[in-house]
Copies of this chain bind each other. A is one copy, B any other.
Amino acid sequence: MGRAPTNTKQKLLETATDLVWRESYNAVSVDEICKKAGVKKGSFYHYFPSKAHLALEAMDVSMQEMKVCYDDIFSSTREPVESFKLMVQHVIDKQKEIEKELGHVCGCPFATLGSELAAQDEEIGHKIAEICAKKTRYYESALRALISKGLIDDNINVDTKAKEIFSFVVGQLLMARIDNDLDFIENNLESAVFNLIGVKEY
């Protein structure tokens, strides 16, 4: 029924993701998003009750994309060492692609947004905290696989180690964003992650 469905909502979500990722949530206005998406503001508020709700939905989209990718990378059919290698390579590739597209190293979108809004918008803050927790669960399963294969010490606390790896990667990405330079990550992230995991050889 009604008028033919359009891709307006999708365009708004994509544009907002790019803009907010490159700059920041508060630095990007609804007008700017609409202008770049070629959509009038009336349409924006037809699809989203507020700017914050757009951010919430944009995170859902990114989460789903991330899930598809990570379900493959951390598939139980893979060797856990390979999973971590693929994860690091995926992070690097994605960062390079975004750098080329948006003209700046952007880091982890969830971390950047979370850092900005954690103390400003409770709902967004909680959502990002959950997304980060979900990501660390991929690491946990791979760490358990490493233990069962005898590749790392079985005395380690898997939850703790997974959180450490996640914050390490996020921290490296944050520094890459600040330095606007991916060299350090390209040259060191993989070996640093394996050193942190504590796997002898890989």
Shortest beta-carbon distance, A90 to chain B, in Å? 18
One of B128, B163, B180, B196 near A196 (C-beta < 8 A) = B196
Number of chain A residues whose Cβ lies closer than 8 Å to a Cβ of chain B:
46
Chain A at the B interface: mostly helix, strand, loop or mixed? helix
The reply on A107 being an interface residue by CB < 8 A is: yes
Shortest beta-carbon distance, A186 to chain B, in Å? 13
> Which residues of chain B are near A117, meaning CB under 8 Å?
24
The reply on A112 being an interface residue by CB < 8 A is: yes
A198 CA / B194 CA spacing, docked (Å): 13
The reply on A148 being an interface residue by CB < 8 A is: no
Cβ contact within 8 Å between B167 and A171: yes
The reply on A26 being an interface residue by CB < 8 A is: yes
* Best-surrounded residue of A111, A128, A164 (most CB of chain B within 10 A): A164
The reply on A174 being an interface residue by CB < 8 A is: yes
Cβ contact within 8 Å between B188 and A175: no
Cβ contact within 8 Å between A120 and B24: yes
The reply on A6 being an interface residue by CB < 8 A is: no
A119 CA / B164 CA spacing, docked (Å): 27
The reply on A168 being an interface residue by CB < 8 A is: yes
Give residues of chain A (59-87) contacting chain B, Cβ–Cβ below 8 Å: none
User: 10 shortest A-B CB distances, which residue pairs?
Assistant: A171-B171, A26-B26, A167-B171, A114-B178, A104-B119, A170-B171, A167-B175, A167-B172, A24-B116, A26-B27
Residues of A participating in the B interface, judged by any CB pair closer than 8 Å? 22-27, 102, 104-107, 111-112, 114-120, 125, 128-129, 132, 160, 163-164, 166-172, 174-175, 177-180, 184, 188, 192, 195-196, 198
